[in-house]
Chains A and B, each alone.
Chain A
Amino acid sequence: MSPGLSYVVIRSHALMGDLLTPGQMRALAEKESLEGFVEQLADTPYGEISIGTEGDVSIALEKVFYQKFIERTMGIVDLAPTKIGDFLQSYYYLRFEVINLKRIIRGKFSGIPIPQIMESLIPIMPYMVESYEDIVEAETFQDAVRRLEGTPYAPLISSLELSEKYDALWPVEIALNYLSIREILKSLERLPQSDRGLVRRIVQVEADVENFLVAAKQRGAREDAHSPEEMFPVTYGIGPDVLREAIEADDIRAVIQGLNPPYDEIMAPLYEGDVALIRSRLRQHVYDIAKRGRAANDFGFNVVMAYLVFSEIEKDDLVGVAWGKTQGISAEDILKYLAIPNFV
């Protein structure tokens, strides 16, 4: 192992101490009020947070948690050897940029004012595009997509035809998802063969679960359902045949029971129609993959990846808790959808 990797692995081990424990996360969710939540957060590595009095507090807190996660990622990227640093930057920045592009395209599609679109973006520097402002300033959403010409997102332009055909955004969003998965898997080639498994497992299980959820959503609109080839350009553990079966099934329970582990367990909340719980279970599964990966090689790249995966799940849980606290949601209802306190 190179000295650079050794250092970043040791640093990741040390930084894991900064992550919130399941007990701390539970205590934050159980706080009576938003003020109590912010006070309790001050006793964690997040420290004192000033959220101001104007605007939506939950969105201000969401930005703080994203910022913290981006700082953690950058801290690791700066220390990591070039290839690993490039991969991590690609993995995280690409995913955030894809979210930002989706928000810009949605905003342009529905005619949201430019400042409001800019406000909704994750605070990162543009990664594979020149500038977000240039895209946001486009007249129409088609124009915004066309402004991606000359960037790695250029293949999105061809999805405009389908988007115009259905007067919908989903073809562009699906193309964007496909492109990001392809780019992430391509960037995996920068890593040694032995380090690729963990990331591949995470990316693939996430893509499969998202595909299945899209298929489940199409069930109500069977006549209008689009072809699986159009909707699922990339599949892994759950193939197009199963997805088609899910779209056409009268009872999705049978399809879910026929899925291989871990998908059957992740998808089980669909029986009761609690779709949000599927995402919580997916996060727990990703947490588990990272934990097992780290246990398998406690002194390699997996430790770095596990630290960032745990950190991202912590961010997602905190965003949920913060929103719940601003809305006065009961601790029980919040805790149900968190990954870290429920991880067994």
Chain B
Amino acid sequence: MSATTGVRPTKGYLMEMKRRIGFIERGTEFLKLKRDHLAKELTTSLDVLKGRRSKLLEDLRIAYRAVTAAYISLGPTEVRSQASSIKSRLELEVLPRSVMGVRYPYIKVEKEPQITGELDITLSEAAEKVLGILDDILQLAEFEARAERIADELGKTNRKVNALENTIIPSYRQVIKFIEDKLDEESLEELVRMKLIGGALARRRE
């Protein structure tokens, strides 16, 4: 279906269309600004993520080796039994945060587990290693979620900008041009008609 189907070629509609396209163009500019800002944020986040991830993976490997040693040394049932004796568990609160309108989770540690008292030294060492990198794990998870949501929003914004630039705005321009052409045509017709009427009236007066 053509963009001009059902269009009323009136001056009022033309003014409405011009008002709308002005609004859409301003919106597109804003979206382009948002897209550029999100792209910048994403690039920075990815650079940080690369460095943090490889460091955390190394720390995790060390912590996992300690956990493995504890399991092999004590056996899975004993490890579970000792781990269950920790009264004070890890408590987290997930809060929302926003960058350029993109919401991402922020993890707040409410309470850290008290591992010193009840665990066997093997398990205690492993638990300390895991607890030592817990903040890094949470921060990285938060950062990854942030980067993922920014990338998602960047994709959406890009699609919106493209749709506006390549489809919506051209179709509005087409409608405006159609109405302007129609109105020009009508005013030309009107002028010719007025000239003919004027000529006819002049001839009658003679």
In the assembled complex, A13 has its CB within 8 A of some CB on chain B: no
Residues on B with C-beta less than 8 A from A319 are 75-76
A72-80, A209-217, A304-312 - the one binding chain B: A209-217
Residues on B with C-beta less than 8 A from A337 are 69, 72-73
Pairwise interchain contact A169-B85, C-beta atoms closer than 8 A: yes
Knowing A273-B125, A316-B75 are in contact, say whether A106-B69 is a contact too (CB < 8 A): no
In the assembled complex, A170 has its CB within 8 A of some CB on chain B: yes
State A337–B81 Cα separation when bound (angstroms). 21
Pairwise interchain contact A58-B85, C-beta atoms closer than 8 A: no
CB of A107, distance to nearest CB on chain B (Å): 6
Interface of B is mostly: helix
Number of interface residues of B (CB under 8 A): 28
Pairwise interchain contact B71-A323, C-beta atoms closer than 8 A: yes
State A317–B129 Cα separation when bound (angstroms). 24
In the assembled complex, A112 has its CB within 8 A of some CB on chain B: yes
In the assembled complex, A62 has its CB within 8 A of some CB on chain B: yes
Q: Most chain-A CB neighbours within 10 Å: which of B72, B73, B118? A: B72
State A327–B70 Cα separation when bound (angstroms). 13
Residues on A with C-beta less than 8 A from B74 are 279
In the assembled complex, B167 has its CB within 8 A of some CB on chain A: no
Pairwise interchain contact B84-A107, C-beta atoms closer than 8 A: yes
Pairwise interchain contact A276-B82, C-beta atoms closer than 8 A: no
In the assembled complex, A201 has its CB within 8 A of some CB on chain B: no
Residues on B with C-beta less than 8 A from A109 are 85, 87
Knowing A169-B118, A276-B73, A327-B68 are in contact, say whether A110-B87 is a contact too (CB < 8 A): yes
Pairwise interchain contact B85-A99, C-beta atoms closer than 8 A: no
State A46–B117 Cα separation when bound (angstroms). 38
Pairwise interchain contact B118-A168, C-beta atoms closer than 8 A: yes
Residues on B with C-beta less than 8 A from A277 are 69
Pairwise interchain contact A320-B124, C-beta atoms closer than 8 A: no
CB of B79, distance to nearest CB on chain A (Å): 9
Pairwise interchain contact A170-B118, C-beta atoms closer than 8 A: yes
Pairwise interchain contact A110-B69, C-beta atoms closer than 8 A: no
Pairwise interchain contact A58-B118, C-beta atoms closer than 8 A: no
In the assembled complex, B86 has its CB within 8 A of some CB on chain A: yes
Pairwise interchain contact B85-A217, C-beta atoms closer than 8 A: no
In the assembled complex, A56 has its CB within 8 A of some CB on chain B: yes
A75-109 interface (Cβ within 8 A of B) = 99, 102-103, 106-107, 109
State A106–B117 Cα separation when bound (angstroms). 12
CB of B54, distance to nearest CB on chain A (Å): 21
Q: Most chain-A CB neighbours within 10 Å: which of B74, B120, B121, B122? A: B121
Knowing A110-B86, A320-B72, A320-B75 are in contact, say whether A168-B117 is a contact too (CB < 8 A): yes
CB of B153, distance to nearest CB on chain A (Å): 37
B56-86 interface (Cβ within 8 A of A) = 65-66, 68-78, 80-82, 84-86
In the assembled complex, A221 has its CB within 8 A of some CB on chain B: yes
State A110–B81 Cα separation when bound (angstroms). 10
In the assembled complex, B174 has its CB within 8 A of some CB on chain A: no
CB-nearest residue of chain A relative to B70? A276
Pairwise interchain contact A276-B122, C-beta atoms closer than 8 A: yes
In the assembled complex, A114 has its CB within 8 A of some CB on chain B: no
- A323's partner among B75, B81, B85, B117 (CB-CB below 8 A) is B75
Pairwise interchain contact B77-A59, C-beta atoms closer than 8 A: yes
State A59–B80 Cα separation when bound (angstroms). 10
Residues on A with C-beta less than 8 A from B76 are 56, 58-59, 62, 319, 323
With A106-B84, A109-B87 known, 7 other A-B pairs at CB within 8 A are A62-B76, A103-B81, A168-B118, A273-B125, A276-B66, A334-B72, A337-B73
Complex A-B, nearest 8 residue pairs according to Cβ-Cβ distance, in ascending order: A276-B69, A320-B72, A106-B85, A276-B73, A217-B121, A337-B72, A168-B117, A103-B81
Q: Which residues of A contact B (CB under 8 A)?
A: 56, 58-59, 62, 99, 102-103, 106-107, 109-110, 112, 120, 166-170, 213-214, 216-217, 220-221, 273-277, 279-280, 316, 319-321, 323-324, 327, 329, 333-334, 337-338
Q: Which residues of B contact A (CB under 8 A)?
A: 65-66, 68-78, 80-82, 84-87, 116-118, 120-122, 124-125
